[in-house]
Structure 1
Amino acid sequence: MNVQKPRTRIQKKNRRAILDAALDVFSAHGFRGATLDRIAEAAGLSKPNLLYYFPSKEAIHVALLSQLMDTWLDPLRELDPGGEPVAELLGYVRRKLQMSRDFPRESRLFANEILQGAPRIGPALETELKDLVDEKAAVIRGWVEAGRIAPVDPHHLIFSVWALTQHYADFDVQVRAVLGAARDPLDEAERFLDTLFARLVTP
């Protein structure tokens, strides 16, 4: 039985540098436009050194997506079936919007993977993501049936939250071009989305 040796401090540092550099490169150029040379240069490493840690561009991409999936699902996991429904839903919207502020590169990485047909995370979408969405959709459906929120389709409500929050990360350049440099899109978006979703779900 082979026991993997723990990584040294330098190995951990280099691995983090590679993943952070790759996140920049993949989010800017997509999977097809990214190259190992670009990633190595951004990480401050030689290409042979990079290949010591990851055997291929795809291996780096998969590592990033695997880490991202957990982070991506956390805001929905926090939706509390025992909480006040309107407050829980508005809290979910705010958490997703905060992710667009804190993790814009990750959002674009995820969007690029989906636009390519999810070749590397398709199984996770059909299992981990689907299971969680179905679980929370059942909670929302229960709130509707109890008259605690207005009648809405639970799955499409969740899709709408994704679309209206992730837009501010994935289309940041377009949003800022329209609004101008003096305005903070995400501060304005939070106020707008609070009003929009409160009106949508308040019974």
Structure 2
Amino acid sequence: MTTSPADKPPARRRRKDGEARREAILDAGLEVFSGLGLHGASVDRLAERAGLSKANLLYYFPSKEELYVAVLRRVLDVWLDPLQDLDADSEPGHAIRAYIRTKLALSRDAPQASRLFCLEIVQGAPLLRAELEGPLRNLVESKAAILRGWIAEGRIGPHDPHHLIFSMWAITQHYADFAVQVDAITGRGLDDPDFFERIVASTQALILAGLGLR
């Protein structure tokens, strides 16, 4: 029995199905790689976690390494997106407070992403070096220029822009990368709304005070 063209799914539906499978594979990759790393993960395990056959997974990502890099690129996009909102016309205090809150919310809502990125960096970023030296550096340099402008205008106290950005990354991502340590010491985590708000307020106050802002 032949299938008529009308019985076949439209191209748009096929694209949506393909995009859904790709996202499922990326989600599975994040979960597996963040726990086992690149070398500890197997294609079979990745396919099982994605709910697909090994052949189907390899159709979308021909190798484990390609999937790993795709997962890392998606992680990098998510973690750097809030920095895009920092623009020269923003009020510095408001912009920095908003950035710190957003970064801590990401540590709360996407801890696996932070841990995987941290794992790659600690290993020397062998598969992500080009991304770090290209898009990441360009973005940070553009935001450092904004910070220098605020300093020159007297809107924030003098501070090395790179170290300011690094400091905000280090503090906010600590609560994802070292969540077990935080819980062991305080008995609480970012999923506790009151604890989350206290961390946001404390971090904002710490950074703003260093910049001479209220």
Q: TM-score, with normalisation over the residues of structure 1?
A: 0.89
The whole-number CA distance in structure 2 between the counterparts of 1:8 and 1:151 is: 51
Unaligned runs of 5+ in 1: none
**Residue of structure 1 aligned with 2:197, choices 187, 190, 197:** 187
> Which residue number corresponds to residue 64 of structure 2?
57
Q: CA deviation at 1:49?
A: 2.8
The whole-number CA distance in structure 2 between the counterparts of 1:181 and 1:90 is: 23
Letter in 1 for 2:18: Q
Q: CA deviation at 1:42?
A: 1.3
> Which residue number corresponds to residue 132 of structure 2?
125
Q: CA deviation at 1:11?
A: 2.9
Structure 1 residue 143 corresponds to structure 2 residue 150: yes
Which secondary structure does the structure 2 equivalent of 1:97 belong to?
A: helix
Structure 1 residue 29 corresponds to structure 2 residue 36: yes
Letter in 2 for 1:189: I
- Matched length: 199
> Which residue number corresponds to residue 164 of structure 2?
157
Letter in 2 for 1:74: D
The range that moved more, 45-54 or 130-139, is 45-54
Unaligned runs of 5+ in 2: 1-10
Q: Deviations over 1:11-52 (max 9, x none)?
A: 333222221111100111122221112212212223233222
The whole-number CA distance in structure 1 between the counterparts of 2:38 and 2:186 is: 30
Q: CA deviation at 1:178?
A: 1.5
Answer yes or no: is the 8 Å Cα contact 1:168–1:186 preserved in 2. no
Q: TM-score, with normalisation over the residues of structure 2?
A: 0.85
Which secondary structure does the structure 1 equivalent of 2:147 belong to?
A: helix
Percent identity for Structure 1 against Structure 2: 52
> Which residue number corresponds to residue 83 of structure 1?
90
Q: 1:42 to 1:84 in 2, by over 3 A?
A: same
> Which residue number corresponds to residue 54 of structure 2?
47
The range that moved more, 167-176 or 40-49, is 40-49
Letter in 1 for 2:22: R
